[in-house]
Amino acid sequence: MCLSHEVLTAAYQGFLDQLTDAGLLIPSGVPGVYGHSGVFERVLEGFDQSITRRSAHLNAEVIRFPGVLNRQHYLKTSHIESFPDLMGSIHSFTGNERDHLGLLQKRADGEDWTQDLKPTQLMLTPATCYPLYPTATGTLREGGRTVDLRSFVFRHEPSIDPCRMQMFRMHEAVRLGSPEQALAHRGLWMELGKEILNAAGLNVECVVANDPFFGRGGRVMAVSQKEQSLKFEMVIPVATAEKPTAIMSCNYHLDYFGKAFGIHTADGQVAHSACMGFGLERVTLALFKTHGFHPDRWPADVKHELGL
């Protein structure tokens, strides 16, 4: 069923109003940017701990990066070509005292003072796995590398859909190695991820998907990505049953990051990579939508799984 823009907008606004009325999300005045209540965070962290507990047997290396990325590393990827509408660049004031006075005068006069800011060495992280690849340059050890990551991610897509936040957290598991190892990792997480979500009472559906590539060329890339079955998503109805929301994705990157950052397997081949990612805020919203806004009333098995 294809819903009109008006119907979708009403559904998103209705769910957002419910969340804010319940005190779970705290509006900031900017679409897609919210504070979270203690209850929201307790559920989010409980689910995150479920991921860690149920994947402990994989013995992944744990790394945590901040939600910023070296600008030069960012430019080694094609993100600026594929997703220019989503990127975030960090700028700051670098002038002297006279320049500062000029900036303050512009602000007082209602002029655009942001023109006096200069780009820093940092970009906002567009995907949790991006900071990993520059650190993996060189030759991988025998058997490849599996890494557990979590960080804040920024994507500039302001929306009243509560699930489409501009700043959110991703918990990812990345595999660097041979094509067979990368594909096996993706296949494993398609099963394990569904198991983890089901244990929390979320009955998801696995679908072939594509990234939101920009422009006319992006439409061709999206078709190619789907035809090659490079990306799968776990979806579930959240704001509306007619347009389910992706709360987890499993991606096979081929040798894209291996080539971009000079990563090789132990036998000298360009490394392939695959990643799994849970959108922690989206999962949390799906839990509230599915079980209600009062975790103390949730099914006993779900509360046990999340440590609530």
For the chain (308 residues), the mean pLDDT of every run of 10, in chain order, is: 79 96 97 98 98 97 98 96 95 97 97 97 98 97 96 96 97 97 96 97 93 78 80 94 94 96 97 97 98 97 97
Using the 3D structure, point to which of 123, 143, 171 is the last residue of a domain. 123
Q: Which amino acid is at 269?
A: Q
Using the 3D structure, point to which of 100, 123, 146 is the last residue of a domain. 123
Q: Does 132 lie in the same domain as 96? A: no
Q: Does 100 lie in the same domain as 37? A: no
pTM of the model: 0.94
CA distance 153 to 170: 7
Using the 3D structure, point to which of 105, 123, 141 is the last residue of a domain. 123
Residue 77, SS3?
A: coil
Q: Does 246 lie in the same domain as 273? A: yes
Q: Does 274 lie in the same domain as 161? A: yes
Which domain range does residue 157 map to?
5-88+126-306
Confirm if 156 and 85 have CB atoms less than 8 A apart. yes
Q: Does 136 lie in the same domain as 109? A: no
Question: What pLDDT is attached to residue 1?
Answer: 52
Q: Does 179 lie in the same domain as 161? A: yes
Residue 142, SS3?
A: coil
List, in sequence order, every residue forming a beta bridge with 62; answer none if it has no partner: 148
Question: What pLDDT is attached to residue 258?
Answer: 97
Q: Does 210 lie in the same domain as 104? A: no
Question: What pLDDT is attached to residue 143?
Answer: 93
CATH number of the domain that 12 lies in? 3.30.930.10
Q: Does 104 lie in the same domain as 20? A: no
Question: What pLDDT is attached to residue 174?
Answer: 98
Half-sphere exposure of 253 (CA within 13 A, CB side): 23
Confirm if 271 and 264 have CB atoms less than 8 A apart. yes
Q: Does 106 lie in the same domain as 215? A: no
CA distance 162 to 9: 11
Question: What pLDDT is attached to residue 212?
Answer: 81
Question: What pLDDT is attached to residue 2?
Answer: 61
Name the domain count of the chain. Answer: 2
Q: Does 274 lie in the same domain as 203? A: yes
Token pair 């009325």 in the structure block, residue: 21
Q: Does 9 lie in the same domain as 98? A: no
Q: Does 64 lie in the same domain as 109? A: no
- Stated as kind and residue range, the H or E segment containing 177 is strand 167-177
Pairing of strands 167-177, 272-279: antiparallel
